[in-house]
Amino acid sequence: MSTDFSGTYMTSWQQPDQSYTVGPVIVVSEPNKTVAVDGVSINNPVFSGMVVTWMAGSNNPSSAVLSFYQNNNINGFTGTYVQGSGNLPSGNNLYGTSTTPSEQLSTWNATYTTYNVSGGTSTKDSTMVVSDPSVTYNGVAIKNPVYTGESTPNGPLEQLAWFTEDGNADNIIIQFKKDSSGNLTFYGNKWDSGDQPTAVNFTGTNASTPPPPTQIVVVLINVISQQANATTEVDVSVDVSVDVSVDVSVDVAVIDAALEIGEVPAPGTQKLADVSRDGEAADDLASKARRLSRPADCDGDG
């Protein structure tokens, strides 16, 4: 079996409150022993077998210990990750996969109205135009956009990203979905400098008439459990509806994560206050797992 686990990895990132969000884009070259995180080259990464380690003490913006694996021609990893100079968590909190997108970027060709999201409210931002192979945001052509994706048990998932390291004005990581009306939408992170946000703060839609200012629905967790040879499936769904009062609100602030773990007892459907118990059970077994994420289909009016 080849031990070359090089690839561009889409990731899902577990937060201390057990919620999940879009994680950093990690690019690994095993032959060259190089790593980049959100476009930034990592100093002094250590490759030991299929484990890669780097530390903030080497003038890096993060620290991590990632254990890579290969399964059915797909490269993946589980590991621990922290931004800045903080301590690594005691359990795995970052999960990634590298594979060919199921759909071409042209699937998402459209002009999107973009929104900044903060505190449960959305504010109109600008426009993004996808016209495969080019991407334009705020009237400026994007340099070196990164398009990744994968097949998940719940359908294909595609992600688009670009970074200031390539000369762009912003760092942006977004994941696409179709809403219940068939409109093309996306959700993700936008930041200009410093640490990547730990919650969705950037969304968009190609809907000609965006939904009225009623609610943003956030679907936090959808867990699918299986071992390498496929065993038990578990669903954990959490809906959080937040009333907002803004000029325009869109139904695309969505996180829907799928975590492949193993031997997790079926917890059933629970409210947000009960999610931590499921998260703890999942994290205890995360060494067996690989983490996937996908957007869910939900209505903007809750």
pLDDT at 73: 81
State how many domains the chain has. 1
Distance CA 57, CA 84 (A): 10
Is residue 244 assigned to a domain? yes
pLDDT range class, residue 211, cuts 50, 70, 90: low
Distance CA 107, CA 99 (A): 17
Q: Amino acid identity, residue 96?
A: G
Is residue 256 assigned to a domain? yes
Is residue 115 assigned to a domain? no
Q: Which domain holds residue 243?
A: 216-293
Distance CA 90, CA 80 (A): 8
Residue 210 sits at φ, ψ, to 5 deg, of -60, 155
* pLDDT(258) > 90: no
Is residue 73 assigned to a domain? no
- Exposed / middle / buried, residue 89 (Cβ in 10 Å: 0-12, 13-18, 19+): middle
pLDDT range class, residue 196, cuts 50, 70, 90: very high
3-class secondary structure, 195: coil
Over residues 161-187, the pLDDT tens digits come to 999 999 999 999 999 999 888 999 999
pLDDT at 164: 98
Is residue 254 assigned to a domain? yes
Within 10 Å of residue 37's Cβ, how many Cβ atoms?
25
Residues 52/45, Cβ–Cβ less than 8 Å = yes
Is residue 91 assigned to a domain? no
Residue 31 tokens, joined: 């032959």
Higher-pLDDT residue of 203, 288 = 203
pLDDT at 110: 97
pTM: 0.72
Distance CA 249, CA 267 (A): 33
Is residue 70 assigned to a domain? no
Is residue 229 assigned to a domain? yes
Q: What is the mean pLDDT of residues 272-297?
A: 35
Read out DSSP for 49-82? Answer: TTEEEE-GGGT-SEEEEEEEEEETTEEEEEEEEE
